[in-house]
């Protein structure tokens, strides 16, 4: 009798449970999505054909990604420098957290790169190209089943690749951008089609010294760019009236200044020509990858992300290169395409950072985001569920480098309205810009009486960010590079 009663109770419970499941169906587990992440070096956010910034620049494959996918013009890095930015992409952490704060600081040995989580979820993973994160090693790294890289910055022609631990030298004018693309497509073709894949294609281009593929050499000869509005102000002394920091004006005649670029009397327009010609090889690479995906019938379902590791100034404030917190340096191109996920042709204005790449890819792989990653997935920005995005501000940090002492340590904060820049270890003025009314960051409002409450609020937010993320101590590290104090006759250098 007891058993009959128990059976009746169990039947009622099971029926009730089934009713609950029917009334509230459980969400289906997300199908892992194939992902390709393409990273370039020093590509600024608006140097693509479709933006119209440079009328003569043609990038048909980047244009296609924007037309069929999304272009996010308000995409930023947390540090505008190669190694720290790449480490932030791979770890989903700020520079002061992962501690790879410059191009020489070594990997601390306790970092987990997000492809490791993909591997554990059943993904096959691969890396092709420039690693340059923490040191010059080209050795295979955790998180990648297949590995192809080169030491340090690498070379544009006749490179040597470390392919899964074996170094192979290439000759006969082999061009690095083309070689990496060919090998990446070959890996895609040989993959296990029963498993999802993640491919990380990391180009050397468009890093200086710029060398285009032979087919692109001279394509933009004699072409010129419009001179930025802040170019002359840094030269004529107008910078004093605009209340710029003195270090910015003085850097004009330096390695990163327009009057002595890379310590040579080079022409700005000729450098830009070579930069844009080198970029054409990257555009060809995107086209080749997309063509392969089409041939496999997986172009609509594969999430393709194209990004730069940092921006690049071409004359703004009298500067070239990166490191500073001005828009041209901190903004990066971000193109995303996946017709199966969202409709194309959109330009979301939401602010996104490089620490959001890992959370976005993990979300599309159905992998839970680790708690140590402060970033957020920007998928809801693409789908329109939250077009404004989750970010109301972005934070920035850059740490003084022994090799490039012209740029001080920088901490900064940016909203849609204002940008606040605070310098550390230098006797100079800080900066505040009204981005809505002064997009070229020409008029420094740091001493404006009406802006003092804004400055105080942003300063408090900046310190709160550092305190909450354990960033109040600068993670200095010994490196192999010599320091000025190590030389008995420093004047010889």
HEC secondary structure over the chain: CHHHHHHHHHHHHHHHHHHHHHHCCCCCCCCCCCEEEEEECCCCCCCCHHHCCCCCCCCHHHHHHHHHCEECCCEECCCCCHHHHHHHHHHCCCHHHHCCCCCCCCCCCCCCCCHHHHHHCCCEEEEEEECCCCCCCCCCCCCCCEEEEECCCCCCECCEEEECCEEEECCCCCEHHHHHHHHHHHHHHHCCCCCCEEEEEECCCCCCCCCCCHHHCCCCCCCCCCCCCCCCHHHHCHHHHCCCCHHHHHCCCCCCECCCHHHCCCCHHHHHHHHHHHHHHHHHHHHHHHHHHHHHCCCCCCEEEEEECCCCEECHHHEEECCCCCHHHHECCEEEECCCCCCCCECCCCCEEHHHHHHHHHHHCCCCCCCCCCCCCCHHHHHCCCCCCCCCCEEEEECCCCCCCCCCEEEEEECCCEEEEEEECCCCCCEEEECCCCCCCCCCCCCCHHHHHHHHHHHHHHHHHHHHCCCCCCCCCCCCCCCHHHCCCHHHC
pLDDT higher than threshold 90 for residue 165: yes
Domain boundaries defined on the chain = 35-228+267-391
Picking from 48-62, 64-78, 95-109, which range would have the lowest pLDDT averaged per residue?
95-109
Q: Which residue has the higher pLDDT, 19 or 171?
A: 171
Mean pLDDT of all residues belonging to the chain: 91
Is residue 4 very low, low, confident or very high in pLDDT (cuts 50, 70, 90)? very low
pLDDT higher than threshold 80 for residue 203: yes
Give the pLDDT of residue 475: 83
Give the pLDDT of residue 480: 61
Architecture of the domain whose range is 35-228+267-391: 3-Layer(aba) Sandwich (3.40)
pLDDT higher than threshold 70 for residue 378: yes
Give the pLDDT of residue 136: 82
Give the pLDDT of residue 135: 73
């Amino acid at each position: 009798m007891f058993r009959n009663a128990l059976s009746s109770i169990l039947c009622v419970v099971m029926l009730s449970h089934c009713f609950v499941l029917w009334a509230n169906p459980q969400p289906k587990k997300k199908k892992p999505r194939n992902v390709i992440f393409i990273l370039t070096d020093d590509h600024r956010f608006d140097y693509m054909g479709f933006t119209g910034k440079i009328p003569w620049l043609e990038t048909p494959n980047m244009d296609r990604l924007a037309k069929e996918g999304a272009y996010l013009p308000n995409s930023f890095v947390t540090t505008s420098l190669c190694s720290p930015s790449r480490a932030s992409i791979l770890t989903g952490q700020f520079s002061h957290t992962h501690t790879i704060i410059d191009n020489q600081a070594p990997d601390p040995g306790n970092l987990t790169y997000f492809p490791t989580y993909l591997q554990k979820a059943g993904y096959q993973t691969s890396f092709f190209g420039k690693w340059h994160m923490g040191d010059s090693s080209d050795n295979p790294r955790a998180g990648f089943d297949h590995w192809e890289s080169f030491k340090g910055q690498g070379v544009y022609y006749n490179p040597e690749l470390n392919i899964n631990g074996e170094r192979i030298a290439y000759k006969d004018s082999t061009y690095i951008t083309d070689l990496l693309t060919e090998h990446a497509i070959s890996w895609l073709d040989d993959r296990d089609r029963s498993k999802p894949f993640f491919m990380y294609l990391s180009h050397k281009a468009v890093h200086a010294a710029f060398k285009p593929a032979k087919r692109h050499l001279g394509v933009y000869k004699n072409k010129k760019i419009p001179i930025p509005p802040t170019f002359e102000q840094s030269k004529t002394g107008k910078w004093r009236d605009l209340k710029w920091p003195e270090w910015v004006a003085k850097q004009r005649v330096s390695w990163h200044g327009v009057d002595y670029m890379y310590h040579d009397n080079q022409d700005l327009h000729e450098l830009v020509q070579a930069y844009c010609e080198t970029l054409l090889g990257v555009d060809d690479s995107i086209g080749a990858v997309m063509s392969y995906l089409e041939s496999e019938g997986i172009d609509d379902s594969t999430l393709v992300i194209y990004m730069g590791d940092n921006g690049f100034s071409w004359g703004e404030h009298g500067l070239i290169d990166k490191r500073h917190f001005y828009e041209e340096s901190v903004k990066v191109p971000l193109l995303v395409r996946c017709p199966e996920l969202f409709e194309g042709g959109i330009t979301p204005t939401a602010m996104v950072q490089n620490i959001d790449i890992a959370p976005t890819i993990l979300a599309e792989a159905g992998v839970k985001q680790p708690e140590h990653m402060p970033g957020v997935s920007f998928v809801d920005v693409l789908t329109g569920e939250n077009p404004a995005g989750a970010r109301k501000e972005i934070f920035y940090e850059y740490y003084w480098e022994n090799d490039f002492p012209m740029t001080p340590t920088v901490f900064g904060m940016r909203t849609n309205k204002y940008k606040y820049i605070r310098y550390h270890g230098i006797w100079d003025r800080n900066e505040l810009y009204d981005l809505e009314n002064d997009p070229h960051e020409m008029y420094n409002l740091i001493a404006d009486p009406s802006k003092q409450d804004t400055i105080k609020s942003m300063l408090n937010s900046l310190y709160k960010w550092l305190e909450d993320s354990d960033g109040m101590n600068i993670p200095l590290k010994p490196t192999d590079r010599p320091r000025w104090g190590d030389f008995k006759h420093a004047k010889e250098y």
